[in-house]
Amino acid sequence: MLERFFLKPQTVDRIMGCWLGPRIELYVTALCERGYAARSILRRVPILMEFAEFAAARNADRVERAERLLDAFVVDWLSARRLDRPADALRRDRNLARGTVRHFFSLVVSKCEHRPEKAAWANPFAGQVPEFFEYLHAEPEPTFFRADTSHGEVAAFFAAKLSVAEHNIRLAEIEGTPVGYVWFEMQDRPETPFQLARKRIYIHHLSVRKIARRTGVDSALLGAIQSEASAAGITSIALDTWATNSPALQFFEAQGFSPFNLVLRKRLT
């Protein structure tokens, strides 16, 4: 997989010769399966190489030891760059370095996100956490949602969505029990005669079981998406919620979201 992005054999050999080399190759493979752009992958691999060298120089050539050095690595990585740059540029660099390493550990080392068979992600939602869908039906628009959806239909729906690289799900667990999930889409829209090109993450669902609400699960799920966006160089996350859902509106506003496009409706009798 590395040969697709690094044409010089010596570059590939140098990556694979690194103590994290095989895992870096797995990471690149996972990013390709998820539809990440080549420029994003080419930005991430050198950061991971520098992280591996930084950890090895401190005798932390084992995964569990290296992960503890993330904060120190970010400081060191930034110090090697111009510090007289604008604050926004430094913040982007910091987020890129931190987000890349965190994403690498979660996606490949911890294997909490990467699933080669994406359709398998539908199973937990169909069998283990039916409360998710009952909650959707209880939204303040009962005439909008179906109340008779079967678990089989839900499983088939998510299997179809997750067969597309741009669609992903992150699952939150407490002691091995799924308690929340976020379904999001990587959107890379080309320029049109009316709009500029844009790249963003769009959150379709964010749901937490009743037993786990007000425990920080929803904030943690959003934080994971924000880290992934930063690692991918994406600067915009969008979502929607019902105008009458005051708790959701308050939560998202507290998380830094604000209205930018209003959808209006008129009922005809």
Domain boundary among 51, 74, 109: 109
The mean-pLDDT minimum among 159-168, 195-204, 212-221, 233-242 falls in 159-168
pLDDT at 252: 94
Q: Say whether both 82 and 39 belong to one domain.
A: yes
pLDDT 10s digits, 160-183: 887 787 888 888 888 777 888 899
More confident residue, 144 or 216: 216
- Average pLDDT of 242-253? 89
Q: Say whether both 24 and 142 belong to one domain.
A: no
- pLDDT at 132 exceeding the cut of 90: no
Q: Say whether both 137 and 239 belong to one domain.
A: yes
Q: Say whether both 84 and 158 belong to one domain.
A: no
C-alpha separations of 100 from 6, 135, 162, 231, 255 in Å: 19, 34, 23, 5, 22
d(C-alpha 77, C-alpha 72), whole Å? 9
User: What total of structural domains would you count in the chain?
Assistant: 2
Q: Say whether both 102 and 189 belong to one domain.
A: no
pLDDT at 255: 92
Long-range contacts of 103-108 (CB under 8 A, 24+ apart): 103/227, 103/228, 103/231, 104/23, 104/24, 104/27, 104/44, 104/48, 105/63, 105/67, 106/224, 107/27, 107/30, 108/23, 108/26, 108/27, 108/30
Q: Range of 198's domain?
A: 118-254
Q: Say whether both 14 and 63 belong to one domain.
A: yes
CATH code of 193's domain: 3.40.630.30
C-alpha separations of 75 from 53, 54, 89 in Å: 15, 11, 15
Q: How many CB atoms within 10 Å of residue 14?
A: 13
pLDDT at 240: 93
C-alpha separations of 216 from 109, 128, 180 in Å: 24, 21, 11
Q: Do the domain assignments include residue 267?
A: no
pLDDT at 134: 54
Q: Are 241 and 255 in contact (CB under 8 A)?
A: no
pLDDT at 245: 84
Q: Do the domain assignments include residue 194?
A: yes
Kindly state the tokens that stand for 42.
Answer: 């080419």
pLDDT at 122: 42
Q: Say whether both 51 and 134 belong to one domain.
A: no
Q: Do the domain assignments include residue 141?
A: yes
Q: Do the domain assignments include residue 67?
A: yes
Confidence class for position 114, pLDDT limits 50, 70, 90 = very low
pLDDT 10s digits, 48-103: 999 999 999 998 878 778 888 988 998 898 888 776 777 777 777 888 888 888 88
Domain boundary among 82, 109, 136: 109
Confidence class for position 239, pLDDT limits 50, 70, 90 = very high
- Average pLDDT of 244-257? 90
Domain boundary among 62, 77, 109: 109
Q: Do the domain assignments include residue 269?
A: no
Q: Say whether both 70 and 124 belong to one domain.
A: no
Q: Do the domain assignments include residue 150?
A: yes
Q: Say whether both 144 and 83 belong to one domain.
A: no
Q: Say whether both 124 and 250 belong to one domain.
A: yes
Q: Say whether both 129 and 227 belong to one domain.
A: yes
Kindly state the tokens that stand for 37.
Answer: 């752009």
d(C-alpha 234, C-alpha 130), whole Å? 32
d(C-alpha 134, C-alpha 148), whole Å? 10
CB-based burial, 21-49: b 16+ in 10 Å, e otherwise: bebbbbbbbbbeebebeeeebeebbebbb
